[in-house]
Chain A
């Protein structure tokens, strides 16, 4: 068990509801922020249990922000934890919120899980994340559920949106000048995208033109394969 699993198993604080396999993924992508001055925003507060978990996990220099649509969540404020009330689908509200918040290092979207909520939140907050920030969208199986606006390979779901971003990780190799495949802010600032059951993790890092390099001794003469490609 990692520390988060431990905390969860012995939780004496407020209610936490998560998928069991999330804790391992959190640890993998977030442990490097422990005991630093990390700023984290979690959308979807509910009973505030996971905000308390982050406070415990990241340590005394962390600042934990929550966003929920339920006004009652405001009472969950405590030291290191601040809660904002509003609608994550409302881009105007999100943009104002982004301006009020300090630099964010981690964003976890565990809000309403509808397509427009997830996409609008990403659109506003991804650029706001620090250079080495991490964006996590949870419960992405709703991308396949009609009641959340999802559908299998349906354009406009969060998963399909994320798949389009995957191409941009390769934008430096846009040989044929394809429109929509140019090096843009996302390509320049994103290192990797990680897909798990119900979770998408996007890691930022400033990127440069990739470089091919060789070292060591040549051993064999040039060889041209003679196979005939199929199809």
Chain B
């Protein structure tokens, strides 16, 4: 068990409701921020239990922000934890949130899980995050559920958007005339995209044009197979 699993199993605080395989993924991607003055934003507060978990996990320097549509969520504010009330499907609210939170190192979208919410939140927040930030979208199986606007391989779902980002990731290798394949706004800022059951993790990093490198001694005649 990692520290998050231990916290969850012995949860001394408010209710946390998560898929049990998430904790290992969190630890894999987020442990590098522990003990730093990390700024984390979680959309979807409910009983505030995971905000408390992040506080315990990241330590006393961390700033934990929550967003929820339920006005009563503000009752869950405490030291290190601040909560904003609003609708993640509302572009104006997200624009205001960017003003209020100039620095975000980790964003977890565990909000309403509908396609328009997940996609709008990604489109408005991702490039705003700090340079080596981590973006996590949770419960992405709703991309396959009609009631959330999803559908298997249906255009306009969060999963299809995330798959499209895989192409952006390769934008520096543009060849040929297809205008859709190019360096996009995302190409210089997306390091990698990680898919798990129900979860997509996107790691930011500043990227330049990639380069091939060589070292050592050539020993084989490559003939016509260079």
Partner-B contacts on A (CB < 8 A):
8-9, 11-21, 25, 46-49, 69-70, 72-73, 75-76, 140-141, 143-146, 151-153, 159, 163, 166-167, 169-170, 172-176, 178, 180-181, 191-198, 207, 210-221, 223, 225, 227, 229-231
List of B residues within 8 angstroms of A210 by Cβ: 19-21, 197-198
13 contacts between A and B (CB under 8 A): A15-B216, A17-B212, A19-B210, A47-B216, A144-B170, A146-B175, A152-B167, A195-B195, A198-B170, A212-B17, A216-B13, A216-B47, A220-B73
- A151 pairs with B218, CB closer than 8 A: no
In angstroms, how far is the closest chain B Cβ from the Cβ of A145? Answer: 5
Q: A172 to B19: give the CA distance in the assembly, Å.
A: 13
List of B residues within 8 angstroms of A46 by Cβ: 220, 222
List of A residues within 8 angstroms of B225 by Cβ: 69-70
The stretch that binds A, out of B56-64, B97-105, B126-134, B139-147, is B139-147
Q: Is B80 an interface residue, CB under 8 A from the partner?
A: no
Q: Is B108 an interface residue, CB under 8 A from the partner?
A: no
Q: Is B206 an interface residue, CB under 8 A from the partner?
A: no
In angstroms, how far is the closest chain B Cβ from the Cβ of A197? Answer: 5
> Which B residues, 70 to 125, have Cβ-Cβ distances below 8 Å to chain A?
70, 72-73, 75-76, 87, 89, 112, 114, 116
- A192 pairs with B195, CB closer than 8 A: yes
Q: A16-B214, A70-B225, A144-B173 are in contact. Are A178 and B116 (CB under 8 A)?
A: no
Q: Is B48 an interface residue, CB under 8 A from the partner?
A: yes
Q: Which of B12, B145, B196 neighbours the largest number of chain A CB atoms within 10 Å of its CB?
A: B196
List of A residues within 8 angstroms of B25 by Cβ: 192
Q: A210-B21, A215-B16, A219-B75 are in contact. Are A18 and B87 (CB under 8 A)?
A: no
- B17 pairs with A211, CB closer than 8 A: no
List of A residues within 8 angstroms of B176 by Cβ: 144-146
- B195 pairs with A230, CB closer than 8 A: no
Q: Is B30 an interface residue, CB under 8 A from the partner?
A: no
List of A residues within 8 angstroms of B36 by Cβ: none
Minimum CB distance partner of A220 in chain B: B72
